[in-house]
Amino acid sequence: MYGEVCAVKELSLAVRRGEFLTILGPSGSGKTTALMMLAGFTAPTSGDILIAGKSVAAVPSYRRDQGIVFQGYALFPHLTVHRNLEFPLEMRGMKAAERAIQVDRMLERVHLKGFGGRMPSQLSGGQQQRVALSRALIADPPLLLLDEPLGALDRNLREQMQVEIKSLHREFGKTTICVTHDQEEALTLSDRIVVMRAGEIEQIDTPEALYDRPATRFAAEFLGEANFLEPPGFQAESDVAPPLGTVAMLRPERICVAERGAPRRVDADQRQFVCGIVEDMIYAGPLRKYQVRAGDSVVIVREHVAADQQIFRPGEEVRLNWLRSDVRFVAA
């Protein structure tokens, strides 16, 4: 609680040793608050936090063996990059010569060789973020807490750093708790993902399970794109009524597009069909994305581009089909 504001309501969660756990959720859902409680910067109003079986609720954050990257990468503004990185090593009593070696090694690793003498204000946002990540990693703590560690990076660098974080995790096996609102980052990095919504856990699962079998509409929409097949606006042939309180969900890549009059496939009895009109077609490198109007609904389709594939243009009539077994019923 922040005064009257309840930022995190109920959060009961067991993180496994060596696990990469990501807390994913929209802005304001309580991710940073949850992480700051884990780090010891914010005291929970009620409840406890245990590390390796011992309560750490009363242990100040500077006494805990953890590396942290704050949202907004809070570097020490009055210290050079080199001094920023050296700080955690110095706290642990490492000798100057050894510190210098470690810092240089780390700077090289994050492609910042030669930047040691600069002040944080003389770095770009992405460079600052890499320094922040390096500072959290350099003393090799058993627990890493990362709040939007790649938030300010451009796409290429972001992917590079994802690979870097992943390989560091594989190499050192540190328990890592990472907060992000970026679903791709969560999918790429995590052993398990916690989806948060308004201060509570919506679902915890592996990336695959979460994507393939989301429990709720919110989880389905937050992780990946989702079509909701909702009558009366949406009516497919041979519709199955969803169980009470659920809605039928279908991922865009599970849908096939065909000409309206095309012969049905051999497995037609296992499929559902719906006719529609192409509203938009976007070519995105290896993918083609269609928006198809079917009744009152717009269905999103993602197709992998193949050499001899038929392309449908806006205005064309098509028939969509998908395996009935690909439909998921999620809590509405």
Where does this chain bind ligand ATP (CB under 6 A)?
2, 5, 7, 25, 27-33, 71, 181
Residue 321 to residue 69: CA distance in whole angstroms: 46
Q: x/- site string to Mg ion, residues 40 to 79, per CB under 5 A?
A: -------------------------------x--------
Q: With CB cut-offs between 5 and 8 Å by kind, which of Mg ion, ligand ATP, none does residue 158 bind?
A: none
Whether 194 contacts 13, CB under 8 Å: yes
Output the CA angle 197-198-199, nearest 5 degrees: 95
Whether 75 contacts 135, CB under 8 Å: yes
- Reported as type and span, the H/E element at residue 107 is helix 96-109
Residue 211 beta carbon to Mg ion: minimum distance, rounded to whole angstroms: 23
The 3-state DSSP class for residue 52 equals coil
Residue 23 beta carbon to Mg ion: minimum distance, rounded to whole angstroms: 10
C-alpha distances out from residue 285 to 128, 240, 304, Å? 31, 35, 9
C-beta nearest to Mg ion: residue: 32
Binding to Mg ion by residue 32, rule CB under 5 A? Answer: yes
Which structure tokens are listed for 240? 């199955």
Is the CB of 43 or the CB of 262 nearer to ligand ATP? 43
The conformation of residue 243, written as its DSSP 8-state character, comes to P
Residue 152 beta carbon to ligand ATP: minimum distance, rounded to whole angstroms: 13
Residue 138 beta carbon to Mg ion: minimum distance, rounded to whole angstroms: 24
Residue 151 beta carbon to Mg ion: minimum distance, rounded to whole angstroms: 9
Is the CB of 75 or the CB of 327 nearer to Mg ion? 75
Q: With CB cut-offs between 5 and 8 Å by kind, which of ligand ATP, Mg ion, none does residue 5 bind?
A: ligand ATP
Helices (H) and strands (E) in the chain, counts: 8, 16
Whether 245 contacts 331, CB under 8 Å: yes
Bond preceding residue 232 cis, omega within 30 of 0 = yes
Q: With CB cut-offs between 5 and 8 Å by kind, which of Mg ion, ligand ATP, none does residue 151 bind?
A: none
Q: With CB cut-offs between 5 and 8 Å by kind, which of Mg ion, ligand ATP, none does residue 25 bind?
A: ligand ATP
Residue 208 beta carbon to ligand ATP: minimum distance, rounded to whole angstroms: 24
Q: With CB cut-offs between 5 and 8 Å by kind, which of Mg ion, ligand ATP, none does residue 156 bind?
A: none
Is the CB of 6 or the CB of 332 nearer to ligand ATP? 6
Is the CB of 180 or the CB of 216 nearer to Mg ion? 180
Count CA atoms within 13 Å of residue 275 on its CB side.
8
Q: Which pairing describes strands 200-205 and 192-197: parallel, antiparallel, or unpaired?
A: antiparallel
